[in-house]
Amino acid sequence: MEQITIKTPSKTYPVYLGEKVIPKLGEVLQSLDPAPKNVLIITDHHVGELYLNDIQSELDEKVSYETFQIEPGDSQKSFDNYYACQSFALEIGLDRSSVILALGGGMIGDIAGFVAGTYMRGIRFIQIPTTILAHDSAVGGKTGINHPEGKNMIGVFHQPEAVIYSTDFLSTLPENEIRSGFAEVIKHALIADPSFYDYLNNNIKSLTDLKGEHLLNCLTRGIEIKNEVVSQDEREKGIRAFLNFGHTLGHAIEGERQYKGITHGEAVARGMVFALSLNKKTVQLGNDLKSWLNDLGFAPIPKNLSVPSLINRMKKDKKAAGGTINMVLLEQIGQPTITPYQANDLEKKLTQFLEEN
Ligand SMILES: NC(=O)c1ccc[n+]([C@@H]2O[C@H](COP(=O)([O-])OP(=O)(O)OC[C@H]3O[C@@H](n4cnc5c(N)ncnc54)[C@H](O)[C@@H]3O)[C@@H](O)[C@H]2O)c1
């Protein structure tokens, strides 16, 4: 088992990572001060069917628990479900010493973390990620929900008490979710670590390579890079924005498609190719990335996207200011920068990019 310590100004907490690490859960709950008497597990129906029993059997007799399940899919990261979770927590009498367990991918981690961060002004929670993508989302304390006007627009920073990441849970992930998570691994490599990027490029030629030692290396190094960033900038006053590499266009594509038909990571991956196309020094890297993504079977950019609508969404991005869209670009691998664009300039570049891609 790997143990990585996440250090942020507001909290230091462990990530337990490896095969069958779920037995750590009982230990972690007992080590909390005060130890919780009751626990609320929040999961989606799909993950619940697969792994709820494993979690419940760790809790038996140690604490009393209730479960709240929501439908899978990013469109469920909504006000309605947030409200329903809060109502359920009140009904079952969750109190300030209770703990929420977020069992699932980034969707569940984000909404359950937001419920925990706001219920009675904030209670404790533990992330139990079940997707590759969640190596990113379970660490760093960003929680929240979507608004029809934009993704992740409502939320709070709220760090978990621990992250318990059992890699055996990843064996049931469908292929498009493996790709989605791998996109965030590629992102971490591109913004921070040229040798990690070479390692990925040389070793992950197809999705079947993403298992065993390689999978563990991807998750470990991805989490370490995320930790390096959030430990310096927990609340995104500066360098944490680099983690949004690929996300400005990625989020806009997801929004235009109502979070259906293309996964988060697939949209971000195409967003990274676009960002690389904006700097002459990284155009070739972008072309190479594009053919690697195609080899790995990543979904192409959806057809018939409206560029003005995409740009409008990019203007609403939390990093945008006035008519200026701040794009994360790379000078080279490991050297991200923030470059402001006037919306109409970026619209021209995006039109050309979409014609060519
Ligand atoms: N908070 C952050 O810092 C942060 C960072 C990146 C992404 N995110 C958010 O994460 C979300 C995306 O996360 P995600 O890709 O994990 O999506 P997800 O949680 O929606 O899971 C994707 C699908 O996989 C299924 N699934 C989950 N685990 C499974 C398993 N082990 N086996 C089989 N199926 C499984 C789910 O039921 C769902 O249908 C987005 O909402 C994004 O905004 C947050």
Considering the domain architecture, whether residues 166 and 242 belong to the same structural domain is answered as no
The answer to whether residues 198 and 151 belong to one domain is no
pLDDT single digits (tens) 104-131: 999 999 999 999 999 999 999 999 999 9
141-193 tens-digit pLDDT: 999 999 887 788 899 999 999 999 999 999 999 999 999 999 999 999 999 99
Residue from 130, 145, 244 whose mutation best tests the ligand 1 pocket (most atoms within 8 A of CB):
130
138 near 163, Cβ under 8 Å? yes
d(CA 279, CA 275): 8
- In the predicted structure, residue 84 carries a pLDDT above the cut 70: yes
> Could you give the CA distance from residue 60 to residue 62 in angstroms, rounded to a whole number?
6
Q: What is the CATH number of the domain that holds 86?
A: 3.40.50.1970
Asked if 168 and 203 sit in the same domain, the reply is no
Determine contact, residues 182/190, Cβ cutoff 8 Å: no
Same domain, 198 and 312: yes
Residue at which a domain ends, from 119, 153, 172: 172
Tell the residue nearest (CA) to atom 21 of ligand 1: 105
* Same domain (yes/no): 277, 295: yes
Statement to judge: residues 185 and 87 lie in one domain: no
Q: Which domain covers residue 255, as residue numbers?
A: 175-356
Residue spans of alpha helices (H) in the chain: 24-31, 45-59, 79-91, 106-118, 134-137, 175-192, 194-203, 212-232, 247-256, 264-277, 283-295, 307-315, 343-356
Q: Do 234 and 317 fall within a single domain? A: yes
Q: Which residues are near ligand 1 (CB < 6 Å)?
A: 44, 46-47, 50, 72-74, 77, 104-108, 110, 130-131, 133-134, 136-137, 140, 142, 151-152, 169-170, 172-173, 177, 180, 264
How far does the chain reach from its first CA to its final CA, in angstroms? 42
pLDDT in tens, 18-62: 999 999 999 999 999 999 999 999 999 999 999 999 999 999 787
